[in-house]
Amino acid sequence: MWFVFSLLTTLAWGGADLFYKKGTDSNDKFSHLKIVIMVGLVMGLHATAYLFIKGLAFNPIDLLKYLPVSAFYILSMTVGYIGLRYIELSIASPVQNSSGAITAILLFIFFPHELGIVHIAGVAIITAGVLGLAILEKKAESAALKLKNVQIDKKYQIGFLAITFPIIYCILDGLGTFADGIYLDELKLISEDAALIAYEFTFFICAVLSFIFLKVKKEKFQIFKERDKGYAAILETTGQFFYVFAMAKNAIIAAPLIASYSIFSIILSRIFLKEKLSKQHYAVIVIVMLGIALLGFADEL
């Protein structure tokens, strides 16, 4: 089932990525905090409903036990939300999603696994596809800006804003997923249910603190008018639900597979935002799909 859970996570987060892009205002310096609030709110509601529906007992100690993992994830996501304001000058999404390869390498180094040739081939193909996408997006963005006669300051085109945010996200998310693999798969330090609830309640606490901060700053924020952010939060939470169970079963393979969700984000952008894709984009999508199919085939062996 890890493969099915990984695919569901990938689809959900691909959709979330689409709405994150739609809901981000490049002129709003608090845009990232507003996304944190929406995601934290939905996660808090989901965690509460999950507790009651499954009749689980919540142990506050789990918040502290799982805090290192939660901190890596929430920090990486917040950095990613900030970076969305500069997405047109970066290769953010593909670079961020290469964190799955970092996780797989770390897990393989510290917790050696016996992987079949099909698993290795699938992970390699997906990782190559994500990196290929980064190159294509950069070329497409540069070409579009030239057509619009936009003069880009070099320090932003290849410097701090364009590169730092996605790289920081990649490192933090890679470490978070590595820690998750240890907690859920390698050492079984916490159950899937406890990890899910602890993470979502931690995110909810961050949302409350962010909301208070905006109030202190007298920044206007109306929850029911933030539809795109709300849709992104729902899809993010849906993906998180399946993600925990995927990582608990086969972290070293699930991590790079899930990291390919940028491919699904591109497909959804083509469908709903009518964005045009080049032949090279379609080729990369086919390559990544092939890698996913190989992992699915290996799961049945």
The predicted structure's pLDDT at residue 198: 97
> Which tens digits make up the pLDDT trace of 69-104?
999 999 999 988 887 766 543 445 666 666 777 787
Q: What is the mean pLDDT of residues 175-185?
A: 93
Q: What is the H or E stretch that residue 18 is in?
A: helix 2-23
- When pLDDT is cut at 50, 70 and 90, the band that residue 251 belongs to is confident
Q: How many CB atoms lie within 10 A of CB 199?
A: 25
More confident residue, 283 or 92: 283
The predicted structure's pLDDT at residue 148: 60
Whole-angstrom Cα distance, residue 106 to residue 279?
A: 34
> Which tens digits make up the pLDDT trace of 218-250?
998 989 899 999 999 999 999 999 999 999 988
Has residue 299 got a pLDDT over 80?
A: no
Whole-angstrom Cα distance, residue 221 to residue 89?
A: 27
Q: What is the mean pLDDT of residues 112-140?
A: 76
The predicted structure's pLDDT at residue 294: 80
Q: Which two tokens stand for residue 246?
A: 């995927």
Q: What is the mean pLDDT of residues 184-207?
A: 95
Q: What is the mean pLDDT of residues 123-142?
A: 74
Whole-angstrom Cα distance, residue 239 to residue 275?
A: 24
Whole-angstrom Cα distance, residue 98 to residue 288?
A: 13
More confident residue, 206 or 289: 206
> Which tens digits make up the pLDDT trace of 137-177?
667 666 665 666 655 544 344 444 555 777 788 889 999 99
Phi-psi region of 113 (alpha: psi -120 to 50; beta: other; left: phi over 0): beta
Q: Which two tokens stand for residue 98?
A: 């290469």
Residues 243-278 as b or e (16 or more Cβ within 10 Å = b): bbbbbbbbbbbbbbbbbbbbbbbbbbbeeeeeeebe
> Which tens digits make up the pLDDT trace of 19-74?
988 888 878 889 999 999 999 999 999 999 999 999 998 999 999 999 999 999 99
Rounded CA Rg of the chain: 19
